[in-house]
Structure 1
Amino acid sequence: MFRWYQAKLTQRPVVTQVITTAFLFGAGDITAQQAVDRRGVADHDFPRTLRMTAWGGCFFGPVAVQWYKLLGRISFPGHPNRELLARVAADQILFTPVNLLCFFTGMTLLEGGNPKDKLEKSYLTTLRNNWMLWPTVQLVNFKFVPLEHRLLVVNVVSLGWNSYLSYANTRK
């Protein structure tokens, strides 16, 4: 399976990463609905899963592909630890707050709701929870994973994170 993915990544890197991201955003929502909320198939909110899948494929995936390319260009020759910390800091201080703002605003608009209310209720808590998980993930990711596989690592960890995001986005 990994060889097949690697071949697709070599042939069409952006498309492969975007499709993978869309799939895993949808899978995260399914996990949130079935494992966390225990809705069952009859009560599954398929439009919600479609919104999460679309968000992953149409927004986060394309943006993240370019973001990781940009982070890969941060360079401090002879100072690999400084380079690593700069990438993680940029990811967590610049990208994450904007990404979460876009996520909650976009998802709420797709649901027909009020983004201001959603942001007041969920944004800061989600941002704090992000900072408990992602800096460590990104330290490992940027230190040991080649650029072309970094989004895949993020996507795999995101199965759990996207379940949380889906839950955070729909809590009353």
Structure 2
Amino acid sequence: MSAVFSRTRVYFNKYPLLRGVATYAVIWPVSNLCQQAISGKEKFDFLQALRYSLFGAFYVAPTLHGWLKLSGLMWPQMNLKTALTKAILEQFSYGPFAMVSFFFGMSLLEGKSSSEAANEVTAKFWPTMQVGVFVWPVVQTVNFTIVPERNRIVFVGFCSMVWTCFLAYMKQLETNKLGKPQ
């Protein structure tokens, strides 16, 4: 058993994207199940959790990995000024892209049409973005200042567990509860 953990650690160190994929394949469905429990669902929707796992592993992890690699190349320093620059730039570039992708992609995975997915993005993007503006710059400033590059995807993954609970909450909200037309 120890040999398996040893090999896994070697692969995860050699291929950080693989580590991110594995992390998000677990964190996203766990976050969704936590949100389901918090909302008082009597029976877990494991198909919904599977959709979160697939989206987290095969979409979020690779796009986040790409962003982190790009920002690391553009600003390789690890100091407060660089961290703030990266965090603010991420909030207004990757953040909106990620939120639109989440609402649109998850809607498509649920079997909704592209126009229904677009309506959901329209209704839920701004309320979600308003919360994200306060959360992610702080998280990413810590990430870019303190956390070594090879551990950044995993660090963000664990921080995103709480964020993904919030996203799952926003996803399950009916658009009419947000005061927007459907």
State the TM bucket, normalised to the shorter chain.
0.7 to 0.9
Please say if residues 100 and 121 of structure 2, whose CA atoms lie closer than 8 Å, have aligned partners that are also in contact.
yes
Question: C-alpha root-mean-square deviation of aligned residues, in Å?
Answer: 2.1
Q: What do residues 114-159 of structure 1 show as CA deviations (whole Å, max 9, x unaligned)?
A: 1122112211000111111111111111100011111111111111
Q: Name the residue aligned to 2:29.
A: 26
Tell me the matched-pair count. Answer: 167
CA deviation profile, 1:13-56 (whole Å, cap 9, x unmatched): 2212111111101110011011x11213xx21111101111000
Q: Please list, as runs of the form range in 1=range in 2, the aligned pairs for 1:1-172 lying within 5 A after superposition.
A: 7-34=10-37, 36-40=38-42, 43-75=43-75, 80-113=79-112, 114-172=116-174
- Structure 1 residue runs without a partner (length 5+): none
Closer, same or farther: CA 12–81 of 1 in aligned 2, 3 Å: closer
Query: Structure 1: which amino acid aligns with 2:145?
Result: K
Higher relative contact order (CA 8 A, sep 6+): 1
Counterpart CA distance in 1 for 2:8 and 2:162 is 21
Query: Normalising to structure 1: TM-score of the pair?
Result: 0.88
Which amino acid counterpart does residue 135 of structure 2 have in structure 1? L
User: In structure 2, how many angstroms separate the alpha carbons of the residues matched to 1:76 and 1:23?
Assistant: 29
The residue identity in structure 2 corresponding to 1:71 is: S
Runs of 4 or more off by more than 2 Å in structure 1?
Answer: 3-9, 74-77, 79-82
Q: Is 2:83–2:140's contact at 8 Å kept on the other side of the alignment?
A: no
Matched-pair contact (CA < 8 Å) for 1:74–1:83: no
SS for the counterpart of 2:41 is coil
Kindly tell me: are residues 39 and 70 of structure 1, through their superposed partners in 2, closer, same or farther at Cα, counting changes over 3 Å?
Answer: same
1:65 Cα deviation (Å)?
Answer: 1.1
**Amino acid corresponding to residue 72 of structure 1 in structure 2:** G
